[in-house]
Amino acid sequence: MRTLAADTLILGARSVVRSRRNPATVVSAFIFPLLFFALFFIVMRRVMAAQGFDYAQLLPPTIVAQAMLFAGMSSAYYVAADRLSGLTARLRSMPMHRAAPILGRAVGDLVRSFISLVPISVVGVIVGMRFDNALGVVGFALVALAFGLVASLGMGLIGYVASSPDDAVSIASMPYLPLLMLSTGFAPVKNFPGWLQPFVEWQPVTAVIDLLRAFTGEGDVGSTLPVAAAWLSGFGLLFAALGARAFKKAS
Amino acid sequence: MAEVSGPIVQIEEVAHSFGSTVALNGVSFEVEAGEVLGLLGPNGAGKTTMINVLSTLLVPDRGRALVAGHDVVAQASSVRELIALTGQFAALDDVLTGRENLILFGRLRSLSKRHATRRAEELLERFSLVDAADKRVGSYSGGMRRRLDIAASLVVATPVLFLDEPTTGLDPRSRAELWQVVRALRDDGLTIILTTQYLEEADQLSERIVVLNHGRVVAEGSPDELKQLAGGQACVVMPVDLGQLEECASALAPFGTPVVDRDIGSVTVPDAGPGALSSIIAHLEGIDLTDISLRRPTLEEVFLQITDLPDGP
Ligand SMILES: Nc1ncnc2c1ncn2[C@@H]1O[C@H](COP(=O)(O)OP(=O)(O)O)[C@@H](O)[C@H]1O
Ligand SMILES: [Mg+2]
């Protein structure tokens, strides 16, 4: 276990250094979410207000979820790149915990997630988002980062099967849109066709967005936390286990 | 060779296929501790597949392989403590500097930060990479990458090192530098399995050669033993008077098909057969010679002869 933690941190630090040397990564992590935020806010605010929704309060959690999924996609890219460069093979020939590479990747991505999270939250507050209390701020940040971690683990798996880094990103972008659009992020459950409603209501991205909103006073933390926590820990463990397995068999 | 501690690597009847491609077809050989073994074979012979089995990257369909008595499949994690792999393609992080790469691999081998940094420094010096130490690996030349790649395998001392085609794609100067590196490692007492497509390289670097072709061992022995495998020896005769070249050739006709080289002024019988020298001299009576010699065929000639056989002996 000590080596798992140590190797995860060492590999995590490595991916942070990599991102730092690629200014495009940092800029896109910072700028893209803000761009989405601005566009949705400008286009949709009045429509939502007409329906009685306070968009400044509802939108930031959606943008956060989107940014985390988006950050996760880079994980697919880098896992595939390491595999094809032979680096993964070298790591596989070394004595290390088989889960360390995928966990290291995901832990390193936390920095990127954080870089996205801060501007969204700040701009959110500027346009009118309010947190319940200090605990709400901490909860909001922790859940956002936990979601980023799980998204990165899941997307990283794609890197183990894709035939190239670009291919990995293409595949990773496929679950990204449906998961995000078929959630309560952009519309309430009742606005979806009846057969889709159960999926929209119970899928993990909805659970995360609902919990993030609860931390801003839109909803109840007590009822949303268990669902989100179950999804995040369940998928987190599943993806980490699959990631370890994929590393073991990577070629 | 003195018997010290017995084989450190044992390979028994290892077979592996990728779909319908048979990459290894029952390969067995052993490597003594401290030995440099050249695994020689043309492209597609199965060298990389063999190295991948030994370095726990690939579970073979059949057979087994042991490193220091540990099974590479059942006891893979023990084996990983004992080996280091430098694969066919440099496995480094291009975005990190040379120094950072070495520290990364040192840390992953459980060295403390200080220890890993110190070790990186030593290796950079040893592999003449000090000047490039703080440049990104992406900007390195092929030879530098290769040296760093090997250095990354040496951050901690493992008894067994696998080098898969360490000089493929390098210019002659970088290749010569790499040979120096391998010789120094040999002198350190490492057990090395080195794959190569070049005979000269196997001849230069290894004490023993295993020739692989179509996934089978087709020959095995010291470079000298392999040269003998080609059977007879070539006899080269050089007359004082170049006008007598034809006369020499007809005198040698009973021993094979003489080849006349007017530029050098020699007549060669490629396969004179053992013990032919004295009767050749008798046949050449009356012709003054500057030189008469028997030579082994080159390893090149042997290699072509062995690997031409579709399925080996
Ligand atoms: N991953 C793979 N999938 C399919 N065929 C492979 C794979 N790896 C190697 N082969 C095939 O197995 C044979 C041996 O390959 P390899 O061990 O790489 O040879 P070498 O290293 O001697 O050039 C070749 O015919 C090669 O095409
Ligand atoms: Mg090869």
Write the pLDDT tens digit of every residue in B94-144: 999 999 999 999 999 999 999 999 999 999 999 999 999 999 999 999 999
Q: What is the mean pLDDT of residues B7-32?
A: 97
Share of chain B above pLDDT 90, in %: 60
Is B72 a pocket residue for ligand 1 (Cβ < 6 Å)?
no
pLDDT over 90, % of chain A: 82
Ligand nearest to the CA of B15: 1
Which residue's alpha carbon is nearest to atom 14 within ligand 1?
Answer: B46
Q: Which residues of B touch A90 (CB under 8 A)?
A: 85, 87, 91, 105, 152
- pLDDT attached to residue B229: 67
Could you tell me the residue range of the domain that residue A180 belongs to? 2-249
| Position B5 confidence tier, pLDDT thresholds 50, 70, 90 | low
Confidence (pLDDT) at B310: 47
Mean pLDDT within B286-302: 76
Which residues in chain A are contacts of B81 at CB distance < 8 A?
95
Q: Whose CA is nearest to atom 6 of ligand 1?
A: B18
Are the Cβ atoms of B91 and A6 closer than 8 angstroms? no
Radius of gyration from C-alpha coordinates of chain A: 18
pLDDT above 90: residue A195:
yes
* Interface touch A17/B85, C-beta < 8 Å: no
- Name the residue with tokens 């987190």: A236
Mutation target for A interface from B50, B54, B57, B148: give the one with most A CBs within 10 A: B57
Pocket test for ligand 1, best of B14, B16, B20, B49 (most atoms within 8 A of CB): B49
Given a contact cutoff of 8 angstroms between Cβ atoms, the answer to whether B227 and B297 are in contact is yes
Q: What's residue B279's pLDDT?
A: 85
Tell me, what's the pLDDT at B312?
39
- Number of structural domains in chain A: 1
Q: How far is A89 from chain B (nearest CA, A)?
A: 7
Query: In this complex, which of B77, B85, B110 lies closest to A90 when CB atoms are compared?
Result: B85
3-class SS of residue A164: coil
pLDDT of amino acid B301: 55
Is B87–A89 a contact, with Cβ atoms under 8 angstroms apart?
Answer: yes
What is the C-alpha to C-alpha distance for residues B156 and A138, in angstroms, rounded to an integer?
43
By alpha-carbon position, which residue is closest to atom 20 of ligand 1? B44
Task: Please report how the helices A55-85 and A204-215 are oriented relative to each other, as an axis angle in degrees rounded to 10.
Answer: 130
Measured in angstroms, how far is the CA atom of residue B212 from the centroid of ligand 1? Answer: 13
Over residues A190-218, mean pLDDT = 95
What's the pLDDT band for A227 if we cut at 50, 70, 90?
very high
Total-model pTM? 0.84
Which residues of chain B neighbour A85 with C-beta distances below 8 Å? 89, 91-92, 94
Mean pLDDT of chain B: 89
What residues in A contact B55, CB-CB < 8 Å? Answer: 93
Q: Own/partner pairs for B177-186, CB < 8 Å, 24+ apart? A: B177/B128, B177/B143, B177/B147, B178/B143, B178/B146, B178/B147, B178/B150, B179/B204, B179/B205, B181/B127, B181/B147, B181/B150, B182/B36, B185/B154, B185/B161, B186/B36
Closest Cα to atom 11 of ligand 1 = B23
Give residue B2's pLDDT band: very low, low, confident or very high (50, 70, 90).
very low
- Top-confidence range, A164-168, B223-227, B254-258: A164-168
Tell me the average pLDDT across A190-196.
95
B107–chain A Cβ distance below 8 A for any pair:
yes
Q: Which of A4-13, B17-26, B239-248 has the lowest mean pLDDT?
A: B239-248
Count the alpha carbons within 13 Å of A172 in the hemisphere toward its beta carbon: 32
Instruction: Check residue B297 and give its pLDDT.
Output: 61
User: Is A89 in Cβ contact with B57 (below 8 Å)?
Assistant: yes
* Between A186 and B313, residue with greater pLDDT: A186
Among B93, B112, B150, B164, most A C-beta atoms within 10 A, so best to mutate, is: B93
Lowest-pLDDT range of A109-118, B16-25, B47-56, B232-241: B232-241
Contact indicator for A150, A235 with CB cutoff of 8 Å: yes
For chain B, domains (ranges, CATH) are 7-228 (3.40.50.300), 232-296 (3.30.70.790)
Report the C-alpha gap between A175 and A169 in whole angstroms: 11
CA B14 from centre of chain = 20
pLDDT of B4 > 60? The answer is no
Q: Return the minimum-mean-pLDDT range out of A162-166, A245-249, B88-92, B121-125.
A: B88-92
Query: What average pLDDT does this structure show over A225-249?
Result: 97
Min Cα separation B268/chain A (Å): 49
CB atoms within 10 A of CB A202: 12
So what's the pLDDT on residue B174? Answer: 87
pLDDT confidence of residue A121: 95
User: What pLDDT sits at residue B234?
Assistant: 77
Q: Does B247 touch chain A (CB under 8 A)?
A: no
Kindly state the helix (H) or strand (E) to which residue A10 belongs, with its residue range.
Answer: helix A2-20
A199-223 average pLDDT score:
94
Alpha-carbon distance of A230 to A205, in angstroms, equals 12
Mutation to test the B interface, candidates A90, A103, A245, A247, most B Cβ within 10 Å: A90
Ligand closest to the CA atom of residue B57: 1
**Going along chain A, which residue ranges are E strands?**
none
Query: What are the pLDDT digits (tens) for B243-271?
Result: 899 999 998 888 877 888 888 889 988 77
